Structure 1
Amino acid sequence: MENLERMEGQCLCGKVTVTAGRRDAVEACHCGMCRQWGGGPYLAVHCDSDVQFVGLENITVYNSSDWAERGFCSECGTHLFYKLKGAEEYAIPAGLFQSGSDFSMTSQIFIDRKPGYYSFANITPEMTEGEVFARYTP
């Protein structure tokens, strides 16, 4: 069960802060776009619409595909979120939340796109690219 406390994080330069309802789960995305964006898998905490950003004037949003956008700090470049267009759900990088040492990895997506040069020891449910699109495409 999710904890109802709040968690806070910030970008490297501190010009953008994010507050969200406490979550315990982290999901790993191995798609090529996430790996290109961050140099490795995207380790994200999925947050509902209760995410609050302070420093909005410092956030640049990049329309990375027909269905999603990615936000980053325009000052220091810190990745701030991945968001499906039209949805009010954010995937926030787990590393933004310094209190995240108690997170658990609960799933991995685009597992068929994961390169062979890294591997996680965690045993989690896994979804292929096809399974992700079948589940989340209307």
Structure 2
Amino acid sequence: MSAAQIEGHCLCGEVTARAIMSKPMMRACHCDMCRSHTSSMFMSLGIDEGSLSLEGPVKTYRSSEWAERGFCGTCGSTLFYGTVKDGARHPSAGLFENAANADLKLEFFADQAPGYALAGTHRKMTAKETIALFAPETGEDQ
């Protein structure tokens, strides 16, 4: 599959997001912080590393030692989840029409989903597996 340039916007249209997506994939995170930030799970797209560009009133919030979250400074739309150590940014699937036609491939903190389960045969990682992947040194949440 060839790489696709995707473009989307926040709710008010003040922030434009552009990225390259070679392998369409959507991910869901059910951690406490994502649920607090979005009032549900956070759905992100897997994009090519370093390809996300954001134009407009982007604000960030450092939510933990190793993570930050981006949002529109005008309407508050969730823009991304990012890891501080490597600068990776995982854009909100909701910024892009039809979530850029990506299929759900992975859930993080699946064991913390509050009373619901997402259908499908995608990979479902527990909190322990997720933390081992993203913060093996600290062992802290989100």
Match of 1:122 in 2: 120
Match of 2:130 in 1: 132
In structure 1, stretches of 5+ residues that fail to align are none
Residue correspondences, number: 134
Say what the alpha-carbon RMSD is for the aligned residues: 1.5
Match of 1:49 in 2: 50
The residue identity in structure 2 corresponding to 1:131 is E
TM-score, normalization by structure 2: 0.87
How do residues 25-104 of structure 1 correspond to structure 2 at under 5 angstroms? 25-47=25-47, 48-55=49-56, 58-100=57-99, 102-104=101-103
CA shift for structure 1 position 54: 1.3
1-structure distance, mates of 2:123, 2:36 = 23
Runs of 4+ in 1 over 3 A off after TM superposition: none
Match of 1:6 in 2: 5
CA shift for structure 1 position 14: 1.2
CA shift for structure 1 position 135: 2.2
Over residues 112-135 of structure 1, what are the superposed CA-to-partner deviations in whole Å (9 max), with x where a residue is unaligned?
11111x221122111111111122
CA shift for structure 1 position 99: 4.6
SS in 2 for 1:120: coil
